[in-house]
Amino acid sequence: MRNATTRLLTRADLSTLISAHGADTLMGDMIAAIETAFVSFDEAKCTVPVRSGFSYTAPRPGLVEWMPILRQSDHVTLKMVGYHPENPGWANLPTIQSMVGRWDTDTGRLVAICEGGLLTALRTGAASSVASKALAKADASTLGLIGAGAQAVTQLHALSQVFDLSCVLIHDSQPAHAASFPSRVAGRLKAGVRIETSSTQRMLAEADIICTATTVAPGDGPLFSSAADAKAHLHVNAIGADFPGKTELPLDLMQSAFVVPDFTEQAIREGECQQLRRDEIGMDLTALLQRPGLQAQLHSARTVFDSTGFALEDDAALSLILDLAGHYDIGSEIEMETPGLDVLNPYDAAEPTASSTSPLKLDTLP
């Protein structure tokens, strides 16, 4: 009899895992896992379709997408991810709601289910860190954050592990979000890092690295009109653009920068690369990570990481989390299947006499 249980990791389990392993250690491990996933990405062994989904405007604007990946001869990971920008306002729920599942390819069995919102925040931060290490000045010290929501927390946390930051400039269209940001990153930064609210104009003039992670509506971008005043070596991690029509960056920045998508085919449809011709796009992150000489040249150039969100990252993040959950014995096991049933009989284990008892009439149901 094979193990027939499914590992369930809720958000509470992930909080326990962070407490057990340490948030800094976890982010460090996540950065390493994401970097390894990009460096070793091999299309012959790993299939990643461009994600699909449903978008709608009623009852509220939102979308639900599925992001599948096949690791050949091993497993399938699929993340279901909802993006509902009005969630924090009316439902006290995060903008991103998500579940990640994993199925083995031996039998198609569901191996694990994991809350995906926290995983998404961790892996998106880690991916920016990997891209920024490759593209930004090594002595970058001023970080700008446009959008001070949940994603900004892990962007800052991940970047602070790679850069010796002294100043963080934040801008959010909702002042309350900017105001609460410092308390949300307390304990994630070394002592002495200044956090200041800022106009985008000041941020552009001073920042070495900028992360954009907003809920700007499709068609309402960009977040600032021009990058004319930005530093020559500015590196931008563009997180928010992940839907047709949604972009955060001005065209002059995109056209003057070396642009690195996480997943080019998807970035052309949904990311900042929607604004570019194919020949204006640099190369994807996997290709860049294989060229250390080029990275060194790009440190002094304007660069953009077009982070649309890549199933490869979700898969690597889930593998890390499952390893750690196993080590610390966190989470629970649920029995989706009942072991030992007759596999040829869908009714096995149901009481055979039940249909002779007085059944509920369906029309009495609520």
Candidates 74-82, 227-235, 236-244, 302-310; binding stretch for a copy of itself (CB under 8 A): 74-82
Is residue 166 within 8 A of residue 220, CB to CB? The reply is no
Give whichever of 138 and 349 is closer to a copy of itself, judged by the CB atom. Answer: 349
Provide, rounded to whole angstroms, the least separation between the CB of residue 234 and a copy of itself.
Answer: 26
Whether residue 361 lies in the annotated active site: no
Choose the stretch contacting a copy of itself; rule: CB under 8 A; options: 186-194, 222-230, 242-250, 274-282.
186-194
Q: Are strands 332-334 and 142-146 parallel, antiparallel or unpaired?
A: unpaired
Instruction: Report if residue 3 touches a copy of itself, rule: CB under 8 A.
Output: no
70 touches a copy of itself by CB under 8 A: yes
Indicate whether 299 belongs to the interface with a copy of itself (CB under 8 A): no
Determine which residue in the list 39, 40, 54, 220 makes contact with a copy of itself, applying CB under 8 A: 54
Applying CB under 8 A, which part among 101-109, 225-233, 251-259, 273-281 lies near a copy of itself? 101-109
- Provide the 3-class DSSP secondary structure of residue 31: helix
Instruction: Let me know: does 282 contact 294? Beta carbons within 8 Å.
Output: no
Closest by Cα among 263, 37, 244, 198 to 130: 37
The catalytic residue among 79, 137, 231, 246 is 79
Residue 71, CA distances (Å) to 37, 105, 223, 332 in order: 11, 9, 37, 25
With CB under 8 A as the contact rule, the residue among 79, 171, 177, 235 that binds a copy of itself is 177
Q: Which of residues 105-134 bind a copy of itself (CB under 8 A)?
A: 105-110, 113, 115, 117-118, 121-122
Q: Give dist(CA 77, CA 302) in Å, integer.
A: 34
Interaction of residue 150 with a copy of itself, rule CB under 8 A:
yes
Judged by CB under 8 A, the residue of 142, 154, 237, 308 near a copy of itself is: 154
Say how many residues touch a copy of itself, by CB under 8 A: 110
Dihedral sign (CA 138, 233, 257, 219):
positive
Calpha distance 20→29 (Å, rounded)? 14
C-beta of 9 vs 136, nearer to a copy of itself: 9
State the Cα–Cα distance between residues 170 and 154, nearest whole angstrom.
14
Find all residues with CB under 8 Å of 175, minimum gap 6, and list them.
197
Q: What residues act catalytically? A: 79
